[in-house]
Structure 1
Amino acid sequence: MNWLQLAQEVVEGKVISDQEAISILNCDDDELLLLLNGAFHIRKHYFGKKVKLNMIINAKSGYCPEDCGYCSQSSISTAEIEKYPFITKEEILEGAKIAFENKVGTYCIVASGRGPTRKDVNVVSEAVEEIKDKYGLKVCACLGILKEEQAAQLKQAGVDRYNHNLNTSERHHSYITTSHTYKDRVNTVEIAKKHGISPCSGAIIGMKETKEDVIDIARALRQLDADSIPINFLHAIDGTKLEGVNELNPRYCLKVLALFRYINPTKEIRISGGREVNLGSLQPLGLYAANSVFLGNYLTTQGQESNQDHKMLSDLGFEIELVEKQEGVFSL
């Protein structure tokens, strides 16, 4: 396969076939750099060498009634994690300050649970209005299954993006969770879109899915027209249903990132949870396909130190995409 030629065809509007998609995931390791060169050709065409930085604040930990098999906060998990109710507006603002100081462009307010209460939405709304005024950050909310009136309120407050991951293919979904449906997830993304909030939805790779499942989720996200696509690589946590699952290696993870770039050429592909564990020393290569990455810690697992990520980007010769209030304040 001539990966660079395929990449140019994608730039010209081609939608790759299932045969080409499976060839990406089955790419011989000896051709991996050629595959990534093709992915970078697409990435550079649409995004240049800019990288978007994101940071999470875990606004509510544990106490979730859902039974998601990957999650340490679920009702069936016995993982030892910190549990606490929804944090205060002041704590959310303090997290935004840390994000701003770390050159982060998108600040993600994430909470466990099936969906937010009225009080939760009020706290987030009040915090977002101040974040916009003080720091100018983009704000992504991830609060679970969303209702129409909640989406309208979040939009009014200034929430730019709403995240609700599809996580896996529709075919594989019931293996991962039974307390809500795949269509519930799709519906939440559609509600966010309906109210003018940018849709963010992605996948978790390494949950005993097939390569065909990976292709299906990449195509589903294209059909959903998600603006931002976070790609998580399973970091199996003791006490969860997927405890001990370890199907990934760094080279396959890079092929997955390339696949998502070839299928979703114009979208923000974000390297997300589990990158440190699963990509290891090959993390920098992931940014030849992806154009976005999380800094800091995740929900209940530790991330890489932010200064290491800043150095990685500097070593790659990539440019951090700053928000307006950061322009002139920072330099690499």
Structure 2
Amino acid sequence: MFPRGFLPAGAGNAICYSGYREGQDPRTGVFPDYEQIKQDLLILQGNWSLLRLYDCSQHAHTVLEVIATEELDFKVMLGADLGAEVSNPNCPWGAEYSDAVLQQNRDNNNKNINDMIALANSYPNLVIAVSIGNEASVDWTDHLVPVEQLVAYAKRVKSAVEQPVTFCENYVPWQEKLQPLTPHLDFISVHTYPVWEYQSIDNALNYTKENLLSVRDTNPGVPIVITEAGWTTMSNGRGMEPHNASESLQARYVPELLDWCKEEGITCFVFEAFDEPWKGSEDPAEPEKHWGLYRVDRTPKPVVAALQK
């Protein structure tokens, strides 16, 4: 039904990884250390072999160092962390920036793209793909980057690395807005979250299939990878009903999703490995904090046992 992704079927299970514990936050430069990341990767090894990283900060450097030094069986998809290059009045939580801030973001984005190129070239045997950004074109984003600039970043990265190049985004922009970008990518990376769109668990997998079909139909012949899909285990009611966010629902959706992706030969990065307390609001029930298959104390949620059946 779908064109195969950039990896051969059966190459391994894929998961998004950020190792931030209590008191750690990439925004303040407090990163997990070597031993903490080693602990995480030892938990993940065996069940997962492909990791998606979101930036090329100290976190990414340490992850690659641990994999190389400890000779762990992981490959990595690197990403560049892009800030807003234009204001976005459509962002519900506010994304109006001064010209000075936007210019500083452009400078930082150029640096981040250069850092990704350098890191990909430093670990050619571990880095299997690179992404020029994450959710930087969808209507609601607070870090909007014009499509023409994404095209420029894609061209620049493709000329500088050997790895396949992609961009990670919600399924909607791939249907029309990102058409100018697609020819400059090696594969399309799609995010699909039924729970954010008020879908019940009974309709969730069909909704994910519809999302992927919508992208395939408007980009025929282009390889498609799912780089984010999952189910949060807690909600404060902002953006999703609390009853629709639970560990039992996660334990149903994720195995169903991965079984279907395996049948279709689609690489799917589950979002995500561990809960991240730094994310979202200060509310402890903030859904952004609770997407992990493991809790922040590294104990497994029921989905882990469900995936091993």
Counterpart secondary structure, 1:47: coil
Tell me how far 1:216 sits from its aligned partner: 1.5
Distance in 2, Cα, partners of 1:98 & 1:297: 18
Partner of 1:232: 230
2:168 aligns with one of 137, 149, 163: 163
Aligned residue pair count: 210
Partner of 2:199: 209
* 1:296 to 1:242, Cα distance in 2 relative to 1, 3 A: closer
Distance in 2, Cα, partners of 1:49 & 1:306: 29
* 1:129 to 1:48, Cα distance in 2 relative to 1, 3 A: closer
1:133 correspondence with 2:121: yes
Superposed CA RMSD in Å reads 4.6
* 1:83 to 1:153, Cα distance in 2 relative to 1, 3 A: closer
In the alignment, residue 139 of structure 1 is paired with which amino acid?
Answer: V
Tell me how far 1:266 sits from its aligned partner: 2.8
Q: What is the identity percentage for the equivalent residue pairs of Structure 1 and Structure 2?
A: 10
Unaligned ranges ≥5, structure 1: 1-14, 17-41, 59-80, 167-181, 274-293, 317-332
In the alignment, residue 257 of structure 1 is paired with which amino acid?
Answer: L
1:241 correspondence with 2:233: no
1:196 correspondence with 2:185: yes
Question: Does the aligned pair in 2 maintain the 1:139–1:161 contact within 8 Å?
Answer: yes
Deviations 1:142-197 (A, max 9, x none): 3401422332224313472210022xxxxxxxxxxxxxxx4x45345434322134
Question: Does the aligned pair in 1 maintain the 2:78–2:120 contact within 8 Å?
Answer: no
In the alignment, residue 107 of structure 2 is paired with which amino acid?
Answer: K
In the alignment, residue 129 of structure 1 is paired with which amino acid?
Answer: I
Deviations 1:103-123 (A, max 9, x none): 341123445758785324312
* 1:54 to 1:192, Cα distance in 2 relative to 1, 3 A: farther
Partner of 1:119: 107
* 1:237 to 1:163, Cα distance in 2 relative to 1, 3 A: same
Counterpart secondary structure, 1:164: strand
In the alignment, residue 163 of structure 1 is paired with which amino acid?
Answer: C
Q: Which has the higher helix share?
A: 1
Question: Does the aligned pair in 2 maintain the 1:231–1:271 contact within 8 Å?
Answer: yes
In the alignment, residue 166 of structure 2 is paired with which amino acid?
Answer: R
Tell me how far 1:270 sits from its aligned partner: 1.9
In the alignment, residue 272 of structure 1 is paired with which amino acid?
Answer: F
Tell me how far 1:234 sits from its aligned partner: 3.4
Alignment of 1:38-187 (within 5 A): 46-48=8-10, 50-52=12-14, 54-56=16-18, 84=27, 92-100=56-64, 101-102=66-67, 103-111=74-82, 117-136=105-124, 137=127, 138-143=129-134, 144-145=136-137, 146-157=146-157, 158=161, 160-166=165-171, 182=172, 184-187=173-176
In the alignment, residue 240 of structure 1 is paired with which amino acid?
Answer: R
